[in-house]
A and B are shown apart, each in its own frame.
Chain A
């Protein structure tokens, strides 16, 4: 979903051009990638590859950082100390994941500051899912179960993506991800087995998070022009629709196991396909959110811009102090 072509529906993304690259170098590069070899920071790479990776990795990083906000919203109100600690640890992990990914992107010749500025200016995107609000404690369960579940599906194959630093960051992330989804599902199952009010909370959260979670996988394959190239470069291992179908097939039984109903009247097991048929996604909603019109997009951006701007004096102070110390050492 981080490869999601988060462009306007009407803005067809031009196929990334390799025409200007040295054909011999390009052929050697493609051969290496096809042979499952890794590309490292100082290796020759087509400019299109470098640009695509910067966009994808930084989009992934921004998603982790913005993703801290919907869950962070409930840390101070978590219903018991264990849940509070788990949630704080999870959100901290997400911050850490963002950090690993920024670090990986920086090896491609872009700085953290440039990436952060692009995010704040609305030029860089992050996963659409984080533009939705967390209204009740059950939303925290839904996010862990559905959103982390979708992320895991995307991330596991990326452990063998062609770019070394990205692959290594993904290995680290996947190792830490194991408890994230489980704690979300546990929250949901406890609520679904709880009081009438808790059951209602859980069902309501599933009702609101189901469709946005399906949208996380990006537009339908026919609207994803760069998929073939991304697959060839091992930046993407399966198509949007393939992953989305997998997600539905895995998640519906999980909902049924805890007595929750997926909010899709068209959902039906298709014996012939061995998969679930499911209803149409409202792509107008998806593209609106991509355009920056998600329900709490403004809140998310404002929070990140404010943290960065409010913190400027802190960063300046630390730099100033370091400079003073360096001068002192030099004078000795």
Chain B
């Protein structure tokens, strides 16, 4: 007996060129083509000219919030990345 439960796919939508794809939600679909069409029907009903990505939810690897301090330590000691570190002579424009 085939499992009739369709897998979950995450949907990413680019509303217009220049913007990046944004996570919009998820759909259930049996295959990729169905997932794209479902994503279109569900998440872009009121928009034209968009780009859609669908990814099986199982394929997404997420960072662990417990590791946040390791992965995303605010670079407090790496002060050279921040523009305020540099002294610019007065009156110099565009920098």
**A touches B in complex, CB < 8 A:** yes
Show the binding face of A for B, using Cβ within 8 Å: 40, 42-44, 92-93, 96, 99-100, 103-104, 106, 111-113, 165, 168-169, 172, 176, 312, 315-316, 318-323, 325
Does B50 sit within 8 A of A, measured CB to CB?
no
12 sampled A-B residue pairs with Cβ under 8 A: A96-B42, A103-B26, A103-B27, A106-B8, A106-B26, A315-B4, A315-B30, A316-B4, A318-B34, A320-B2, A322-B31, A325-B31
Q: Which residues of A contact B4 (CB under 8 A)?
A: 312, 315-316, 318-319
Determine whether the beta carbon of A169 is less than 8 Å from that of B25.
yes
Determine whether the beta carbon of B25 is less than 8 Å from that of A321.
no
Given contacts A92-B45, A96-B42, A319-B3, 12 further A-B pairs with CB under 8 A are A44-B65, A93-B45, A104-B25, A111-B5, A112-B28, A113-B5, A176-B46, A315-B30, A316-B4, A322-B30, A322-B31, A325-B31
For the complex, what is the distance from the CA of A172 to the CA of B25, rounded to whole Å? Answer: 10
Determine whether the beta carbon of A40 is less than 8 Å from that of B8.
no
Majority secondary structure of chain A interface residues (helix, strand, loop or mixed): helix
Q: Which residues of A contact B2 (CB under 8 A)?
A: 316, 319-320, 323
A103 and B25 contact, Cβ closer than 8 Å, known pairs A113-B5, A323-B2: yes
Digitize B38-70: 1 where CB-to-A-CB distance is under 8 Å, 0 elsewhere.
Answer: 000010011000000000000000101110000
A40 and B45 contact, Cβ closer than 8 Å, known pairs A99-B27, A316-B2: no
Q: How far is the CB of A320 from chain B (nearest CB, A)?
A: 5
For the complex, what is the distance from the CA of A40 to the CA of B65, rounded to whole Å? Answer: 9
Q: How far is the CB of B27 from chain A (nearest CB, A)?
A: 7
For the complex, what is the distance from the CA of A96 to the CA of B25, rounded to whole Å? Answer: 11
Q: Which residues of B contact A93 (CB under 8 A)?
A: 45
Number of interface residues of B (CB under 8 A): 22
Q: Which residues of B contact A40 (CB under 8 A)?
A: 65
Determine whether the beta carbon of B3 is less than 8 Å from that of A43.
no
Q: How far is the CB of B67 from chain A (nearest CB, A)?
A: 10
Q: Which residues of B contact A321 (CB under 8 A)?
A: 30-31
Q: Which residues of B contact A44 (CB under 8 A)?
A: 65-66
Give the residue name and chain of the A residue nearest to B34 (CB).
A318
Majority secondary structure of chain B interface residues (helix, strand, loop or mixed): loop
Q: Which residues of B contact A43 (CB under 8 A)?
A: 65
Digitize B1-44: 1 where CB-to-A-CB distance is under 8 Å, 0 elsewhere.
Answer: 11111101000000000000000111110110010000000100
For the complex, what is the distance from the CA of A318 to the CA of B38, rounded to whole Å? Answer: 14
4 nearest A-B pairs in the assembled complex, by CB-CB distance: A318-B30, A315-B4, A316-B4, A103-B26
For the complex, what is the distance from the CA of A169 to the CA of B25, rounded to whole Å? Answer: 8
Q: How far is the CB of B95 from chain A (nearest CB, A)?
A: 36
Determine whether the beta carbon of A42 is less than 8 Å from that of B65.
yes
Q: Which residues of B contact A172 (CB under 8 A)?
A: 24-25
For the complex, what is the distance from the CA of A315 to the CA of B1, rounded to whole Å? Answer: 12
Give the residue of A96, A106, A315 whose beta carbon is less than 8 angstroms from that of B6.
Answer: A315
Give the residue name and chain of the B residue nearest to A316 (CB).
B4
Give the residue name and chain of the B residue nearest to A95 (CB).
B42
Give the residue of B5, B8, B25, B31 whose beta carbon is less than 8 angstroms from that of A100.
Answer: B25
Determine whether the beta carbon of B8 is less than 8 Å from that of A318.
no
For the complex, what is the distance from the CA of A176 to the CA of B43, rounded to whole Å? Answer: 11
Q: Which residues of B contact A106 (CB under 8 A)?
A: 8, 26
Q: How far is the CB of A168 from chain B (nearest CB, A)?
A: 8
For the complex, what is the distance from the CA of A321 to the CA of B33, rounded to whole Å? Answer: 12
For the complex, what is the distance from the CA of A40 to the CA of B23, rounded to whole Å? Answer: 13
Q: How far is the CB of A49 from chain B (nearest CB, A)?
A: 15
Q: How far is the CB of B55 from chain A (nearest CB, A)?
A: 14
Q: Which residues of A contact B64 (CB under 8 A)?
A: 42
Determine whether the beta carbon of A318 is less than 8 Å from that of B6.
yes
Q: How far is the CB of A225 from chain B (nearest CB, A)?
A: 31
